[in-house]
Amino acid sequence: MIVRTAMKVQQPKPPASQKSEAAFEAAKAVLAGGVNSPVRAFGAVGGTPRFISKAKGAVLIDADGNNYIDYVGSWGPMILGHAEERVAAAASKALGKGWSFGAPTEAETRLAEQIIADIPSIERIRFVNSGTEATMSAIRLARGFTGRDLIVKCEGCYHGHADALLVKGGSGLATFGTPSSAGVPAAATSNTLVVPYNDKDEATRVFAEHGGKIAALLVEPVAGNMGCVPPLEGYLSHLRGLCDQHGALLIFDEVMTGYRVHIGGAQGLYGVCPDLTCLGKIIGGGFPVGAYGGRAEIMAKLSPEGPVYQAGTLSGNPLAMAAGLATVQALHDAGVYEKLEAQSQKLAEGLAAAAAKAGVTVVQNRVGSMMTVFFQQGPVVNWTTAAQSDTDRYARFFHAMLARGVYLPPSQYEAFFVSLAHADEQIEATIEAAREAFAGLVA
């Protein structure tokens, strides 16, 4: 008889956190919940959030002086790494000339020209200050263009905190088990229809029943706010066909995937072109930014050309435009996406092997340099399957990795992001940390 004994895992000394703890207590006295975005509070994994003092490349340094290999990357935009020299120089140069004018600048045009050259669906674009602004403005524009009221979204996809979209969203909402939000009147969501992600039949049924009233279908082409969930083969093209058949607009929320999974976004990767695209994160190089764009005839409905109103004092501000252009231009360097793919594949394969060796069952989804390790048997194709994950086990894994100097998303339902700054030795160190962390889950 063979008797298996648990692998003896040396537990590292927990990193000092006294300064982060003190900072969190001070923050809770003046900030709602002690944070300015819910997932940062570590509510899904427990413990004290680390207060970051600085970052460089792929490394975060917290208030207590601890170094972490970072796979959050400010939730996606730091694709070049933190404090990247070209982006820092561009932002510094812009800062020296003045940082807000409330008037047009040529920097807006230059970034717009680059995005239009890269993203297949965009002929005209409008800059805003966040992904939430981009998606809520795109919906208003779709309604103004079509003259219809209904919007279709997918369960588990998060498109910002606009009232009409807080219906079965993912990310922080999924983390806290909240299918919608207090403070949102029923009337605000009465024109929002929800279908499961990756379900062609349900999308077809909803369009068959409501097609003549649907202004747009809004979808993350690669879901990122229930964890990374790729589209099944043919799903996006099916949505494209439904919208064409019923005269609705197809809106891709590429706030996360734009420039992340391909130079042309997910639409460039999968070859499906939406009518409108929402962008954010990478196009600002880490500064607050958002944008929405699409066919010229649709964008012409926006004020001052057309009757659909949207405005913003800081929209297209010089700092975000300069940092965004420097970032996007850097992504045109030879071999950039090949390097991202190679490093991401190396990390993914290493994590999978580490879990298998420890006997821990996980499902790993990845599209390019965004990925999620789900603690379940899988497959994970939508919110229903993602929600079957063992979030308690993920929390233990998260803290085991944190203790070993690796900063993962503090939620099972968020994606990891690999940057161009992640060197081989950092990927290898992460895999070694994962070997110990996975083994510790079964020890």
- Based on the domain organization, do 162 and 253 belong to the same domain? yes
Task: Calculate helix-pair angle for 424-442, 336-358, nearest 10 degrees.
Answer: 20
Instruction: Clarify whether residues 140 and 65 are in a common domain.
Output: no
Give the catalytic positions in this structure: 158, 253, 281
Give the SS3 label for residue 93: helix
pLDDT digits (tens, 9 = 90+) for 14-51: 788 999 999 999 999 999 999 999 999 999 999 999 99
Q: What local confidence, expressed as pLDDT, does residue 433 receive?
A: 98
How far is C-alpha 434 from the chain's CA centre? 23
Confirm whether 78 is domain-assigned.
no
Residue-level pLDDT at 173: 47
Number of Cβ within a 10 Å radius of residue 413: 30
pLDDT in the model for residue 179: 43
Assess whether 326 and 339 both reside in one domain. no
Residues 22 and 97 in one domain: no
Round to whole Å and give the CA distance between 154 and 331.
Answer: 30
- Looking at 311, 330, 349, the residue that finishes a domain is 330
What gap in Å lies between CA 251 and CA 248, rounded to an integer?
10
Can you give the pLDDT at residue 9?
60
Domain count for the chain, please give it. Answer: 2
- 374 and 412 Cβ atoms separated by less than 8 Å: yes
Domain that holds residue 355: 18-71+335-442
Query: Which among 295, 330, 365 is the end of a domain?
Result: 330
Which residue stretches of the chain have pLDDT < 70? Answer: 1-10, 168-180
Co-location of 249 and 303 in the same domain? yes
- Asked if residue 324 and residue 435 are part of one domain, the reply reads no
pLDDT in tens, 385-398: 999 999 999 999 99
The domain boundary, picked from 330, 364, 388, lies at: 330
CA atoms lying within 13 Å on the CB side of residue 332: 9
* pLDDT at residue number 12: 78
Say what the pLDDT of residue 266 is. Answer: 98
- The dihedral over CA atoms of 121, 125, 129, 132, expressed in degrees to the nearest 10, equals -40
- Residues 155 and 297 grouped into a single domain: yes
Task: Report the candidate in 255, 273, 276, 257 with the shortest Cα–Cα distance to residue 265.
Answer: 257
Assign residue 280 the CATH number of its domain. Answer: 3.40.640.10
Cβ 389 vs Cβ 374: under 8 Å? yes
**Residue showing tokens 């992600």:** 197
